[in-house]
């Protein structure tokens, strides 16, 4: 860190007042105001396309507002990740060190200065900013983002675009600006890098404004949330879950106020309509009419929920295991990446793959999908098994000029237009976007389209490789619900811990050239990563071996030493998981049923909230009331069953 590096300026403070900005005739911000307390770490959330990245451009001065102002202390240093990653022949270490321009300038001046007084000042300042520890600090950051000692000395040009973006992120973190702006920083990180960044940002000594759709990151790395919604900015204290709760409470109060006001308006209007013609009541009627005109309508709540996503059920039931690997090795050409794989995948498995990028997660996924042939060993697949594979790079496979409807029509050439559009609707794409060329869809809309196309035939196994990069928080929740309701097997690779925890019931660690079960949970894995702090490694094999050993250590319960052998303990753990698997399945089924009932009740509530509904169709309204009462009883019964199952599961795990 740089103690004393910013003593000359006031504490960072960002104040936005009455900001209005329009682009291409579209308003993104209108009289928006927010103040960030000094030293705060704020998550910046809002729907995709709402204008979050645009606000960053306004803060940095790359764009100018139509009206309003952005105030910051004089001399404040703003830092953000470069949009284009460095591709020079400089080493990663050199690129990161160069990001601290003051240090670089002082070192250069120290080589040329001749005035003894100035030389003393330069060396004093270098000491103040901890210049002598710069390389160690840069190495820790690069290591945390996945670069070993050898990689840190290699030129940037030797790395792909995604890895270069990590270098750009490392550079801005190392420079320690007074105001750190991060726009979706986890998009190029693996889960391990995301966990490291979460910890780093939470300890960052200056102000942070972070755009992210990663729920866990927004819960653990920041202390406040700025919400961009309906052209306005609102500040909330606490992490994302706290913000979500506060927002929902505010929405409920607003809706109640709106309903109360609407009832009051109708009462006043009825009085006016009834007594306007009567001389004795004319004055009162006129008074109420003026009150109606002055009454500012309270806006109705615009729901933030994204359209649901649904995956078709597998076509036919396959006998388990659907895939069996016996002593399998896989790799590319003469290079073996994974070896000695002996694993089974059942038709209801929900498996998340853990392990740093480069350890072979994608190689394993391609092997399971049949896109990569094994080098040795035997893979047995169930007959007629259909595998769906989703990876972000496949977004480029969409035909740019074809709309979602056109893409689906190729798969349903003889179907009626209504059926084609109904199928597109199941992807979670709104009617207004069905005829939009793929090249004009947002990243999230493209991801939904590709997910729908990949699962079109009702696969038995769904492989998802980083499916959330372009999805906002609401769409990620829709994906979680879709995965949990899907009846087939799932293999998941994701840096989104919330997605992993919500969907996976088995964790496999890809490390040391193999794939093995990780017996802990995601919190155990997080502690493991932070404990290691991504140490430098001299080669994949050495680090992978350390990963596996540390993972095994992390999974051990904190209790007196077990006299049984490690093999016996693992066997017992496997048997215990096998016994508990049916119970876990029942719990998940109950949770899915609760979600379905609540969804139906919400739809009924929305319809019944319209007073005119009872006037227009009294018979149907009465039917809805009865159905809601039935669902309410069913929900209570299902929740009670879920509680009993959960208690049984908890007792079995703690008492095992």
**Tens digit of each residue's pLDDT (9 = 90 or more) over 141-151:** 999 999 989 99
Query: Looking at residue 294, what DSSP letter applies?
Result: H
Q: What is the pLDDT of residue 576?
A: 60
Tell me which of 331 and 587 has the higher pLDDT: 331
Strands (E), 262-383: 323-332, 335-345, 350-354, 376-381
pLDDT band at residue 233 under the 50/70/90 scheme: very high
Tell me which of 308 and 563 has the higher pLDDT: 308
Is the confidence at residue 266, as pLDDT, over 50? yes
pLDDT band at residue 305 under the 50/70/90 scheme: low
Domains and CATH numbers, the chain: 11-77+177-261 (3.40.50.300), 83-175 (no CATH), 323-556 (3.40.50.300), 578-654 (1.10.287)
Tell me which of 131 and 170 has the higher pLDDT: 170
CA angle 80–82–86, rounded 5-degree value: 145
Q: What is the pLDDT of residue 284?
A: 60
What pLDDT digit, counting tens, does each position of 367-422 carry? 999 999 999 999 999 998 999 999 877 777 889 999 999 999 999 998 999 999 99
pLDDT band at residue 509 under the 50/70/90 scheme: very high
Q: What is the pLDDT of residue 587?
A: 81
pLDDT band at residue 9 under the 50/70/90 scheme: very low
pLDDT band at residue 133 under the 50/70/90 scheme: confident
Is the confidence at residue 352, as pLDDT, over 90? yes
**CB-based contact 252:50 (threshold 8 Å):** no
What pLDDT digit, counting tens, does each position of 65-86 carry? 999 999 998 888 999 998 776 7
Strands 506-511 and 350-354: parallel
State the Cα–Cα distance between residues 522 and 514, nearest whole angstrom.
20
pLDDT band at residue 364 under the 50/70/90 scheme: very high
pLDDT band at residue 289 under the 50/70/90 scheme: low
Is the confidence at residue 575, as pLDDT, over 80? no
Is the confidence at residue 334, as pLDDT, over 80? yes
Sorted by sequence, the CB contacts under 8 Å of residue 88 that are 6+ apart come out as 95, 155, 156, 157
Q: What is the pLDDT of residue 572?
A: 60
Sorted by sequence, the CB contacts under 8 Å of residue 107 that are 6+ apart come out as 126, 131
Quick check: helix, strand or coil at residue 311? coil
What is the pTM (predicted TM-score) of this model?
0.69
- Helices 191-202 and 134-144 pack at an angle, to 10 degrees, of 130
Share of the chain above pLDDT 90, in %: 43
**Backbone torsions φ then ψ of 71, nearest 5 degrees:** -115, 135
pLDDT band at residue 291 under the 50/70/90 scheme: low
Q: What is the pLDDT of residue 82?
A: 80
Q: What is the pLDDT of residue 533?
A: 59
What pLDDT digit, counting tens, does each position of 615-634 carry? 677 778 778 877 888 888 88
Sorted by sequence, the CB contacts under 8 Å of residue 204 that are 6+ apart come out as 41, 176, 180
pLDDT band at residue 505 under the 50/70/90 scheme: confident
CA distances for 485 relative to 38, 87, 274, 464, angstroms: 44, 44, 54, 15
Tell me which of 632 and 309 has the higher pLDDT: 309
Structure tokens at 434: 């069905």
pLDDT band at residue 588 under the 50/70/90 scheme: confident
CA distances for 539 relative to 110, 150, 336, angstroms: 37, 8, 15
Is the confidence at residue 539, as pLDDT, over 60? no
H helix intervals, 533-565: 540-555
Residue 644 burial (CB count, 10 A): 11
State the Cα–Cα distance between residues 382 and 22, nearest whole angstrom.
56
Tell me which of 3 and 198 has the higher pLDDT: 198
For residue 577, give the nearest of 493, 520, 626, 639 by alpha carbon. Answer: 520
Query: Looking at residue 44, what DSSP letter applies?
Result: E
What pLDDT digit, counting tens, does each position of 175-186 carry? 999 999 999 999
Strands (E), 99-231: 179-183, 207-211, 224-229
Is the confidence at residue 219, as pLDDT, over 90? yes
Query: Looking at residue 617, what DSSP letter applies?
Result: -
**CB-based contact 79:172 (threshold 8 Å):** yes
**CB-based contact 241:68 (threshold 8 Å):** no
Q: What is the pLDDT of residue 564?
A: 47
Q: Going edge to edge, which strands form the sheet with 335-345? A: 335-345, 323-332, 376-381
For 248-260, letters b (16+ CB in 10 Å) and e give: eeeeeeeeeeeee
Quick check: helix, strand or coil at residue 81? coil
Is the confidence at residue 302, as pLDDT, over 80? no
**Backbone torsions φ then ψ of 637, nearest 5 degrees:** -65, -40
Mean pLDDT confidence for 323-327: 95
Strands 78-80 and 179-183: parallel
Cis peptide before 386 (omega within 30 of 0): no
State the Cα–Cα distance between residues 538 and 550, nearest whole angstrom.
17
CA angle 240–242–243, rounded 5-degree value: 60
């Amino acid at each position: 860190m740089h103690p004393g590096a910013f003593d000359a300026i006031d504490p960072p403070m960002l104040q936005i007042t009455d900001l209005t900005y329009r682009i291409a005739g579209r308003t993104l911000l209108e009289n928006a105001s927010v103040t960030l307390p000094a030293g705060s770490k704020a998550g910046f959330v809002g729907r995709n396309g709402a204008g979050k990245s645009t606000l960053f451009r306004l803060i940095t001065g790359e764009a100018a507002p139509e009206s309003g102002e952005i105030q910051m202390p004089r001399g404040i240093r703003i830092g953000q990740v470069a949009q284009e990653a460095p591709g020079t022949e400089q080493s990663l270490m050199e690129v990161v060190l160069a990001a601290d321009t003051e240090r670089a300038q002082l070192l250069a001046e120290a080589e040329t200065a001749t005035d003894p007084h100035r030389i003393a000042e330069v060396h004093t300042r270098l000491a103040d900013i901890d210049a002598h520890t710069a390389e160690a600090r840069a190495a820790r950051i690069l290591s945390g983002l996945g670069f070993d000692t050898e990689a840190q000395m290699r030129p940037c040009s030797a790395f792909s675009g995604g890895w270069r973006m990590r270098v750009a992120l490392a550079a801005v973190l190392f420079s320690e600006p007074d105001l750190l702006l991060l726009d979706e920083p986890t998009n190029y990180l693996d889960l391990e890098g995301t966990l490291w960044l979460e910890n780093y940002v939470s300890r960052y000594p200056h102000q942070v404004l972070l755009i992210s759709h990663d729920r866990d990151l927004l819960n653990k790395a920041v202390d406040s949330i700025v919400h961009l919604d309906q052209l306005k900015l609102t500040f909330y204290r606490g992490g994302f879950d706290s913000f979500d709760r506060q927002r929902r409470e505010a929405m409920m109060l607003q809706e109640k106020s709106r309903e109360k006001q609407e009832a009051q308006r109708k009462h006043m209007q009825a009085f006016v309509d009834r007594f306007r013609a009567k001389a004795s009541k004319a004055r009162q009627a006129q008074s109420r009419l003026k009150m109606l005109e002055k009454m500012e309508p309270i806006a109705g709540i615009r729901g933030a929920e994204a359209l649901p996503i649904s995956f078709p059920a597998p076509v036919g039931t396959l006998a388990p295991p659907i895939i069996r690997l016996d002593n399998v090795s896989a790799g590319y050409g003469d290079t073996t990446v994974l070896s000695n794989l002996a694993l089974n995948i059942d038709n209801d498995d929900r498996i998340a793959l853990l392990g740093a990028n480069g350890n072979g997660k994608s190689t394993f996924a391609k092997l399971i999908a049949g896109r990569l042939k094994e080098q040795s060993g035997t893979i047995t697949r169930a007959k007629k098994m259909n595998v769906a594979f989703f990876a972000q790079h496949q977004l480029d496979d969409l035909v740019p000029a074809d709309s979602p409807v056109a893409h689906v029509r190729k798969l349903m050439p003889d179907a009626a237009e209504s059926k084609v559009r109904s199928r597109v609707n199941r992807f979670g794409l709104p009617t207004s976007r069905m005829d939009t060329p793929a090249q004009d869809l947002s990243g999230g809309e493209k991801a939904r389209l590709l997910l729908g196309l990949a699962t079109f035939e009702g696969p038995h196994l769904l492989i998802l490789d980083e499916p959330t990069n372009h999805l906002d928080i609401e769409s990620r929740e829709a994906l979680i619900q879709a995965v949990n309701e899907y009846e087939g097997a799932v293999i998941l690779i994701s840096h989104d811990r919330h997605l992993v925890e919500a969907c996976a019931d088995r964790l496999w660690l890809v490390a040391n050239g193999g794939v093995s079960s990780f017996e802990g949970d995601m919190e155990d894995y997080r502690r493991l990563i932070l404990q290691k702090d991504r140490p430098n490694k001299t080669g994949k094999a050495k680090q992978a071996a350390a990963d596996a050993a540390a993972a095994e250590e992390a999974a051990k319960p904190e209790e007196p030493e077990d006299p049984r052998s490690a093999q016996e303990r693992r066997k017992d753990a496997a048997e215990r998981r096998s016994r508990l698997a049916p119970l876990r399945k029942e719990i998940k089924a109950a949770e899915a049923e609760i979600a379905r009932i609540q969804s139906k009740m919400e739809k009924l509530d929305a319809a019944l909230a319209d007073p005119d509904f009872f006037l227009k169709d009294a018979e149907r309204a009465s039917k809805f009331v009865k159905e809601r009462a039935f669902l309410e009883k069913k929900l209570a019964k299902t929740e009670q069953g879920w509680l009993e199952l959960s208690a049984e599961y908890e007792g079995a795990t703690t008492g095992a």
